[in-house]
Structure formats: C-alpha cells, structure tokens
C-alpha cells in the first residue's frame, strides 16, 4: 500500500506519533511519503528529551521513507537554508503525493 502522511503541526507529541505510525507502515512493507506544511515544516528540527523525533526521522529514512517540505512554508519561517533531511517542494508535489496514494493521513 502507498501511504501519504501530511504533517501540518509542530506539536511535538503529534509529530512523534505521526512518525511512529509511518515507521510502522514502513516496517510492514508499505511505501510512505511525508509532506510537511504550515508549522509542520518545523518538525524536521524538533529536538525533545522525551519524544525522540530525530531518532524517528533517522529510522524513517533508513527504511526508505520520502520527506518533502513546503518551500513557501520554509521561506515564511526563514528555514530554507536549514533543511537537511527533506526535499524542498511545493503544493504540486503535495497534490501528486495525495493523488497517487492509496491512503492519506493528516496530523
């Protein structure tokens, strides 16, 4: 199954649970893409003692996950130069990810 997850929040626990779910999908053989938009583009940079977001991103990438961040959202927050794990995209990328997915989940 092909799954697209849209993360549009920077709330640590929600991002953590979204990543745990994506890693579960990847671990069971599904194809997963994540699109970060709105304050969700900040999810790449969350460093929290209790919720290990960075470890979950590492697992996501090691399992073959695909991450795309909204370029406009990054520019608005002056984060474009700080992106290290996601590709910079736009809403056309998001639309394509949604159109080609079997399931779309929003966090």
State the Cα–Cα distance between residues 55 and 25, nearest whole angstrom.
16
**Confidence label for 99 from pLDDT (cuts 50, 70 and 90):** very high
Q: Give the CATH number of the domain where residue 52 resides.
A: 3.40.1260.10
Could you list the residue range(s) of the whole structural domain that residue 40 is in? 2-106
Residue-wise pLDDT tens digits, 41-93: 999 999 998 999 999 999 999 999 999 999 999 999 999 999 999 999 999 99
pLDDT of residue 64: 98
**Distance set, CA 99 to CA 31, 83, 94, 102 (Å):** 14, 25, 9, 8
User: How many domains does the chain fold into?
Assistant: 1
């Amino acid at each position: 199954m092909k799954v697209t997850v849209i993360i549009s929040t920077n709330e640590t626990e929600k991002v953590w649970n979204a990543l745990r779910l994506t890693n579960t999908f990847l671990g069971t053989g599904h194809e997963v893409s994540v699109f970060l938009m709105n304050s969700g583009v900040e999810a790449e940079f969350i460093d929290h003692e209790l919720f290990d977001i960075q470890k979950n991103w590492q697992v996501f990438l090691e399992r073959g996950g695909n991450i795309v961040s909204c370029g406009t959202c990054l520019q608005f927050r002056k984060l474009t130069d700080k992106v290290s794990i996601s590709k910079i995209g736009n809403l056309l990328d998001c639309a394509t990810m949604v159109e080609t997915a079997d399931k779309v989940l929003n966090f």
